[in-house]
Amino acid sequence: MQDAELSKAYRILNHGPVVLVSTSHQGKRNVMAAAWNTPLDFDPPKITIVIDKNTYTRELIEASGSFAINVPCVAQMDTVRSVGTSSGRDLKDTDKFALYGLETFFAKTIDAPLLEGCVAWLECKVIPERHNQNTYDLFIAEVVAAYADERVFSDGHWHFEGHDDLRTLHHVAGGEFFVTGAAVRAAL
């Protein structure tokens, strides 16, 4: 795991992967899947992400003012599906991490559990924009820390060759995904 230069952190989301959003507030924690994310600015890096009003994650984000983005890989496809189709609000005396056997480690700058086995992580602080949040479920956040699995992301570039199980995922619908495919380069 390697720190990613913050000015290149947008590259972690630039190709449009599905992500897992993890949150914590006063001892409660949750994780959900979110396909509707995108970079918003380079430096300081900002992102947007859509978090539905009905989600438990939304409640924890609005209480804590922060969240983490975890970029999952092919090997975690079933986890993405599991945490994306259940609500942490329904769980008694447990949470999704315990229920699905997800190992975590501590974020550096915010209070959120980060998922082991993912290939990149962004620690995010919400820039309060109530109109966007209330009208569109749209959150804007600043990325305050970024790191990645250096086997597949370093110097601001993803390089998946030789690590097919660490390729990122693009959500289609339900439990269907596309794997991030071949790297190609324009002639010009």
Only one residue has tokens 């300081």, namely 44
- Closest by CA to 7, choosing from 37, 41, 54, is 41
- Closer by beta carbon to its own copies, 1 or else 77: 77
For residues 91 and 171, give the distance between their C-alpha atoms in angstroms, rounded to a whole number. Answer: 25
Q: Which residues contact 176 (CB under 8 A, 6 or more apart)?
A: none
157 binds its own copies (CB under 8 A): yes
128 binds its own copies (CB under 8 A): no
Out of 2, 6, 25, 40, name the contact with its own copies by CB under 8 A. Answer: 40
Q: How far is the CB of 188 from its own copies (least distance, A)?
A: 5
162 binds its own copies (CB under 8 A): no
Token digits for 78? 């079933």
- Closer by beta carbon to its own copies, 103 or else 176: 176
- Site track 63-102 with its own copies (rule: CB under 8 A), x = hit: -----------x--xx-xxx--x-----------------
Q: How far is the CB of 63 from its own copies (least distance, A)?
A: 24
* Tally of CB atoms within 10 A around 14: 13
Stretch that binds its own copies, among 21-29, 106-114, 116-124, 174-182 (CB under 8 A): 174-182
Residues interacting with its own copies, by CB under 8 A?
11, 14-17, 35-41, 46, 48, 50, 74, 77-78, 80-82, 85, 129, 131-132, 136-138, 140, 156-158, 167, 169-173, 175-188
